[in-house]
Each structure stands twice: as structure tokens, then as C-alpha cells.
A and B are shown apart, each in its own frame.
Chain A
């Protein structure tokens, strides 16, 4: 397996050096592994911190900047960051107005962020955590680890970030973030697993005529294996699952996301099918994103994320944003 790296051990350090060199708007703490705004925390503004395993770029470091995150903590590949690292990111984001932790629902992320929040509270920084769990592929139950946080996390970071930039207080920003998560659902299909640099081989093997249905973002197998089919059918299957879980109607924001190894031409083909399916079911695509926004290294496949829009969410989505990966209106 060929990889554009120096060595599996230096992948994250090398990438962070690249982020620092490419984006003067960001401060990169190579020792603690924290990406934050070069200008520091904005006085009076609620700070937004997210983080998780690496390999999902541009999530989360690519979303640090005006209108989204204040700091991000990237862990090892597919492994949550450690508490001290999240604490360092929390300090970088804190201007005294409190800090919102945006955490994807994986046991490791939840535990490490919880420990970091306790450490921050010891330093008299108020922290509220919002856990995203928008993956419609996983059955929710009090007896399981619950649903995974996936593509909806990008929407939470954007919309909560806009609210914080407008001056909303911590409880309000947390309420909006929770609301975004509640009205958002995602589903993903993989055609070929990604390869963790240290492992050197794909996370699972698929035959030419097979796909994994309902995968997460860590190269883990999905809820079942299915037959390869034209993109119209794969997109239709995905939207059927989302629609059955939370009906798609009215104005929606749709993200057609690539998992890292699928060309944009195919993602646009998939988006055409998604838009047609939604219009055919009485919904209206009011806003959209097509591209690689939450990836799984070089995995081939796509995810669809659908959010119901109301006036407040639409206004906050359209609000100016200036980060390496999302930028408009400013």
C-alpha cells in the first residue's frame, strides 16, 4: 500500500506542520497538538472546541476560524485526543465566557472530553458539552453505546459557531447546537475501506460487487453488506433510511460528503440523485454542500446528511464564516 508519508509515526506531526505553514490564520501548537485561531480567543465570546481522532480532515482543524471553532484537538489516527490535549485546546478557546465542547458520540471521545471538562472546571472555566449522534444507521438504545456522531457535526460547528460569533451566551449556544443535532440525520455507504497508515492495509475487504451499508467514519464495517448498484439506488437506499428515521420535508440543508477517496465528479452525480429524491418526496434543497468535509482517510464512498431548516438555522448557516475548509460572506 503506497502512502504519501515519511513514516507512519510522523503522519500527524507532518500534517500539523503543513497546516501551520499553509494557514497563517491558525496557530498550531505542535507539542500539545492543538489548532487554534492565531488571533487568540475573542474577548467576550463563547469558545467552541472540538476534536477527535485524526483521519477525518478537514474535520476538525479545518473548521477553526471566524464563525466556527476556536480550537481543535486532533488525536492519533481514529483515536480520540487525550484529556490534557483537550484541556490545552479549551484554554486556547476560553475568553472568560465559557467553552462549548462539541463531541462526536464515540465512547473514547466522550470519556476523554468528560475528563478534560472536569480539569477545566477545576480551573474555573465553565464547560458545557454537546454530544452529536446523527447517524441513522445505528439503532439507538439505552443498552448500547448509542448512535455515532458523523456528518451532522459539521453543521453543529458552523451554526453554533455563528451563534457564538453573534454574542449568544454559553447556554444559548449549547441549546442551538443541541437543536441542530436533533434535526439532522446521516447515512453512509462505503465502496472500499480506507487504510490506516500504521496498519498498512484496508480496514475491511469488499469484493467488486459489494458495498458496506451504514458505515461510520473509522473504516469500521457497516450494519450490513449489500450489492453494488448504480448511484441512484445507493443514494435512494440512504435517503430511505434517513426518511424512515426522521421524515424529510420542507426546506432542508443537504451535505453530500466524500469519504476521502471518491472523486468530486461522482459526488456531484450522487448529489443529483439526492436532490431529485428529495424534490420527489416533497422536500426542497435550500442549501447544500458537495465535497470532502468529514472523511475516513482514503476510503471510497459517500455520506448524506440532511438537516431540517427553520428561519433561525438558515440565518445562522448563511452567516459569514472564514476557515480553511468553509468560507463565505466575509
Chain B
């Protein structure tokens, strides 16, 4: 199946439902190495993204993601607001005016999101951040797409890679974000930003399956 306005909207809807279901888990991860507000912030942010989509009535998948990103920036606060907001906006702009896109275009949009997060946050792979889930997910998505695989297969591979990336954050010492203030004490915990990124990519796999 192609990625169209309806699928894009379903993705944000599923992502919002996923963070709501897992709000307490995200907050618990953040309380261990941060300040314990990531669950509440992600729920508020994605709900604001959905509201903005409903108000603007976007007619392309790109516009859906831009609207979601603007809603997230406007309401989330913290680091997650600008980072996720810019990621969705940049991904939406990468899709352009197309009414429907295939795996290669969606893969390029996910890569644009990764670039946005790296630029804004100044973090890279191995810093124990959301990038440790997103970067392997983008690579996995693009590998499937390059082989001519469908969006469903690419998104499933991306979600698996994100979850593996999340697990791989456990032994890392945080170098960016609030967990970095703990130094070596940040080792031994999953990164909450990587956890929410894995949820959002699993939601993409579910709505495109």
C-alpha cells in the first residue's frame, strides 16, 4: 500500500494512542535518569498534533506531518517538543505535495526527520538519545526500500531496528540531554526518548501492515 493522507493521519493517531498506553512506562524511564515528565509531555504533544491535524484538514500526507509537527512544537515544551516537532515538520516537507508516496519517498522523509533532530539537538549515535532508536530504524527502512520492498515490510524492519536500538541504549552513558548530568549513573537504563521513538515507529508499522 502507498502512504497517503489517510495513512499519515492513522499513524499520528496510533502514535498518540501508543504513548497514552505507555505513559507510565515512559515517565518511569525518565524518572530514573531525567526528571520524570516524558510520558505526560509525549501525550500532550501528540494530542496537540492530532488536534492541529483536525483543525487544518490537511489534504496530503506531507501536510498531515507538517500539521502534526506544528501542533507538537506549540504544546509540548521540554526538549521533546522542538525535536519531535521539527522531525515531523521536516519529514512532511520532504514528502512535498504528493497525494501518495511509496517506500523510497517515505524513507527519505524519515531520513530528513533524523537530520532535523541531529541538527537541532547536536547529538549523534551513541549519545543515549532518541537518535539511537531512529538512526538504525531509518537505515533498516531504506535498506528494504532499496531492495524494492513495500512500505509495510520497510516499516516493520524499522520498528524492529528501533526496538533493538532502544535496548542497546541500556549500557550507554548519556552524553546529551538531562540524563548526561548523571554521568556514569545513567548507565543501565533505557533512554526514554529512544523508547518513545520506538513506540512511534511501531505505530507506523502497525498502520501500514
Q: Which residues of A contact B (CB under 8 A)?
A: 53, 75-84, 106-108, 111-112, 114-115, 137-139, 143-145, 148, 196, 198-199, 203-204, 216, 218-224
Contact = CB atoms under 8 A, between A and B. Distances in A.
Secondary structure at the B interface, as helix, strand, loop or mixed, is helix
Contacts of A144: 175-176, 180
A148 B37 contact: no
B40 A106 contact: no
B2 interface: no
Q: Which of A82, A83, A203, A219 has the most CB of B within 10 A?
A: A82
B78 A80 contact: yes
A143 B41 CA distance: 26
Interface of B: 27, 31, 33-37, 40-41, 44, 73-83, 120-121, 175-178, 180-183, 185
A148 B183 CA distance: 13
A165 B40 CA distance: 39
Contacts of B83: 111
A115 B41 contact: no
Contact of A107 (B33, B73, B74, B121): B121
Contact of B178 (A139, A218, A222, A223): A218
Contacts of B78: 75, 79-80, 108, 112
Contacts of B44: 76
A53 B41 CA distance: 12
Given A82-B75, A107-B177, A144-B175, A203 B81 contact: no
A84 B82 contact: no
Nearest to B120: A111
Nearest to A77: B37
B181 A145 contact: yes
A79 B36 contact: no
Contact of A108 (B27, B36, B77): B77
Given A76-B44, A111-B120, A145-B181, 19 more contacts: A53-B77, A75-B78, A80-B81, A82-B75, A82-B81, A106-B178, A107-B177, A107-B178, A111-B79, A111-B121, A137-B181, A138-B181, A145-B176, A199-B31, A203-B35, A216-B181, A218-B34, A220-B33, A224-B185
